[in-house]
Structure 1
Amino acid sequence: MSTPIAWSDARTAVYRRALAQARMKAAEVALSDADGLTLAEPLVARTPLPAFPTASVDGWVVRGTGPWRVVDRVLAGHRAPDLTEDGTAMEIATGAMVPAGATTILRLEHGDLRGDEVAGSPKTEPEWRLPGDECAAGEELLPAGTPISPGVLGLAASCGYDTLLTRHAPRATTVVFGDELLDSGLPGDGRVRDALGPSIPAFLRRLGARTDGFRRVQDTLAAHVDALRQAVAGGSELICTTGGTMHGPVDYLHPALAELGASYVVNTVAVRPGFPMLVAELPGGQFVAGLPGNPQSAMVALVSLVMPLLAGLRGRPFPASEQVTVGATIADRGDYTHLSLVRRDERDGLVYPVGHVGSAMLRGLAQSTGFAVVPPGKAAHPGDRVDLLELP
């Protein structure tokens, strides 16, 4: 076993390595296909917004003092003719271009139209938006790494974008090791139900990866090597494996990585539970995240390493944690960071450790908000503030 790396250092290392990979992979995508992806470059206004003076209300755009003779109409989507004479007006619709020479706008509800003449009392301030009210041409509106939402798409379209330079959702594969695992029925006779095959792909999808379930692999070195090669051939950028991260009689992940020429980004982490986790990089740039076989330990590895890894591959910011207040004591784990499953009490807003949190258990995880992060050598006591990594 290698010397465990500090938990925070491990997370930073995998994020930076993945982000370096993401920077080499960006693609122009039509706005219609960009929802859920990530901006690979800042969104910069290509024009002032609005690009021309724009009416904020329906009514009449007027010049000089009234009453005014209505000489024309301006609708949205048309270039407005100049308003050249005092005492004249044009009917105008919300969003229409305000003609040059206009003094102000008389609201529809404030005007009295009789024949071709309108009278009324306009507000003192012009009721239109000036060019650049929202932004100037060349202004950065959103930074690279921003998730692309419907609002971002609308903003990009309003600025004149037809496509966006994006980072895509990475393709991820889950490979489950363990001849003792069952896919259906009740456990017994030395065999247990597989809890990670159904849950890890769901976790990866919630973190923004594209995944199509999992595949079971026999406990042989040849099967391990073949499974990793097939995942690479299938276009996976991230391969999550379960089990085999130690050096037991059927732990073949390390030998398989060696045979494939992989290099370790992180190999064992000073965290409890789940310290024998790893991230390795294959020669083609694909990542292998080796998760421990015990279910809760695998989930610790997911939030510890896979969460920042996928954030990096997507070009997103480093995953943020939330500061919370502890409502009951959480024990220290010596020189290791302790990731303790906690639930948030809606009545007092505090977080409390849950029960059934053995490495092989998932009952506690199923009722938890996330993991409280307790630094090495410290316990957390009621009233202490700690970081919370929420489960996605």
Structure 2
Amino acid sequence: MNMPWNLARQTAREAAKPLDAVEVALPDAVGLALASGVRALASQPACDTSAMDGYAVAGPGPWTIVGRVAAGDPVPGVWLGSGKAFGVATGAPVPGGSEAVIPVERTSVDNRRLAGEAVTGKHIRRRGEDWSAGDELVPAGSAVSPAVLGLAAGAGHDTLLVRRRPRAAVIVTGDELLHSGPPRPGRVRDAIGPMLPGLLAGADLLGTTHVRDDPSALADALTFDQADVLVTCGATSVGPADHLRRVLAELGAEILVSGVACRPGHPMLLAVLPDGRCVVGLPGNPFAALAAVLTLLQPLMNTLSGHTVRAPITAWLGDVNAHPKDTRLIPVTRTGTEAVPVGHDRPGSLRGAALADALAVVPPGHLGGEVELLTCASAS
């Protein structure tokens, strides 16, 4: 009996644990998931700092200018008494006792006497205003975006502790497949193999192996032990050339998902080999294979990568002839808050998916309402 779609995806998320934590230099962390939160190594700002070019002042004006400080200079070793002013640059430390900074364009100076209007607290960034030393700035499980990278550098970090990338290997099966040139009667181009690297962009792809519809060749390919995840294409159904289930049984694998109540893609499967390597079986039809990637492979890869599960993206979708028992995944474009089907959703064709922004998850019996959208992006 095919597993409900939501349960299958949850099973994939729980099929493995996050991979090892590694410490890497900041530039090498982009796209990876934090294995521990980013904490500030120093307060920001580290001292009271001017937010404008101008004059730090204390007390009522007019003020006598008693010094100047530039960005990068140490904190002035003076206390700014009432009626005194200190020239400051943007980002420069202000003297102790400073009550406000007046922008230079709002002042006039005559023989070291400063005139202007001060607003208490204005244009001074106080020590620790953004964060204090020890504060957690980004939680574990977050993806390291360019902004996170810059924040980590600003907080004092030269390295980050992240989860290593999953290692994946692809096995494409099928005597009928061509790997170059146009299809011809009885032979079809492999569309899944070229699609997968982009969907595995968050992983290290160790290579793609093409094997004939031969169980011993498939078994040999599955013995490759350098990958965390083996992705097979084809051979997942119950026809005479569909050997994957039998080969997995002979290898002692535990099959966690053996078919999903999903259209397209119901013959997809998920298994764990005795040494802990995971096998995701994609159906041979290209659109069905994409459905399996989004249902099983990407949730598994996100868990291995250590990424936190994100809140789902949703949109309103009308009546699309939902199946009474199975979940449908249909290609849609998004216009505002509404998802619009693009058609061309046969299991063997990627035409609709190529035109779509996402696949809408249409639950059984759906007559109209909010649905989840799955973007066809990489696992990271």
**Corresponding position of 2:189:** 193
CA 110–363 in structure 1, closer or farther in 2 if over 3 Å, else same: closer
Which residue of the other structure, out of 1, 5, 12, is the alignment partner of 2:10? 12
Query: Quick check: 187-196 or 361-370, which moved more?
Result: 361-370
- What code does the residue aligned with 2:216 have? A
Work out the CA distance in 2 between the residues paired with 1:384 and 1:91: 61
**Aligned to 1:155, what secondary structure does the other structure show?**
helix
Work out the CA distance in 2 between the residues paired with 1:266 and 1:114: 82
**Corresponding position of 1:335:** 325
**Corresponding position of 2:228:** 237
**Aligned to 1:39, what secondary structure does the other structure show?**
coil
Work out the CA distance in 1 between the residues paired with 2:99 and 2:340: 64
CA 345–114 in structure 1, closer or farther in 2 if over 3 Å, else same: closer
In the TM superposition, what are the counterparts of 1:266-305 in structure 2 within 5 Å?
Answer: 266-305=257-296
Work out the CA distance in 1 between the residues paired with 2:80 and 2:198: 65
CA 183–113 in structure 1, closer or farther in 2 if over 3 Å, else same: same
Shift of 1:319: 5.0
Which residue of the other structure, out of 86, 95, 103, is the alignment partner of 1:99? 95
**Corresponding position of 1:70:** 65
Unpaired segments of 5 or more residues in structure 2? none
- What code does the residue aligned with 2:42 have? T
- What code does the residue aligned with 1:368 have? A
Query: Normalised by the size of structure 1, how large is the TM-score?
Result: 0.87
Shift of 1:211: 2.5
**Corresponding position of 1:216:** 210
**In the alignment, is residue 385 of structure 1 matched against residue 377 of structure 2?**
no
Shift of 1:27: 1.0
Shift of 1:198: 1.0
**Corresponding position of 1:257:** 248
- What code does the residue aligned with 1:253 have? L
- What code does the residue aligned with 1:223 have? A
Q: Deviations over 1:163-194 (max 9, x none)?
A: 11112332222210001100122222421111
In the TM superposition, what are the counterparts of 1:93-172 in structure 2 within 5 Å?
Answer: 93-172=89-168
Q: Deviations over 1:212-261 (max 9, x none)?
A: 6633112222211222223x33xx22221111112332222223323433
**Corresponding position of 1:366:** 354
Work out the CA distance in 1 between the residues paired with 2:211 and 2:199: 20
**Corresponding position of 2:237:** 246
In the TM superposition, what are the counterparts of 1:12-51 in structure 2 within 5 Å?
Answer: 12-18=10-16, 20=17, 22=18, 24-51=19-46
Does the CA-based 8 Å contact 2:9-2:296 persist in structure 1?
yes
Does the CA-based 8 Å contact 1:201-1:214 persist in structure 2?
no
**Corresponding position of 1:306:** 297
**In the alignment, is residue 184 of structure 1 matched against residue 180 of structure 2?**
yes
Shift of 1:320: 4.1
Shift of 1:297: 1.2
**Corresponding position of 1:356:** 344
- Following TM superposition, the consecutive aligned residue runs of length 4 or more in structure 1 with deviations greater than 6 angstroms are none
Work out the CA distance in 1 between the residues paired with 2:314 and 2:58: 58
Query: Normalised by the size of structure 2, how large is the TM-score?
Result: 0.90
- What code does the residue aligned with 1:6 have? P
Does the CA-based 8 Å contact 1:38-1:315 persist in structure 2?
yes
Work out the CA distance in 2 between the residues paired with 1:40 and 1:61: 43
Q: Deviations over 1:33-59 (max 9, x none)?
A: 211111112222333322211111111
**Aligned to 1:248, what secondary structure does the other structure show?**
coil
Aligned pair count reads: 376
**Aligned to 2:200, what secondary structure does the other structure show?**
helix
**Aligned to 1:312, what secondary structure does the other structure show?**
helix
- What code does the residue aligned with 2:173 have? F
Work out the CA distance in 1 between the residues paired with 2:361 and 2:127: 49
**Aligned to 1:153, what secondary structure does the other structure show?**
helix
CA 319–126 in structure 1, closer or farther in 2 if over 3 Å, else same: closer
Shift of 1:115: 4.4
Work out the CA distance in 1 between the residues paired with 2:268 and 2:311: 21
Work out the CA distance in 2 between the residues paired with 1:183 and 1:49: 56
Work out the CA distance in 1 between the residues paired with 2:99 and 2:312: 53
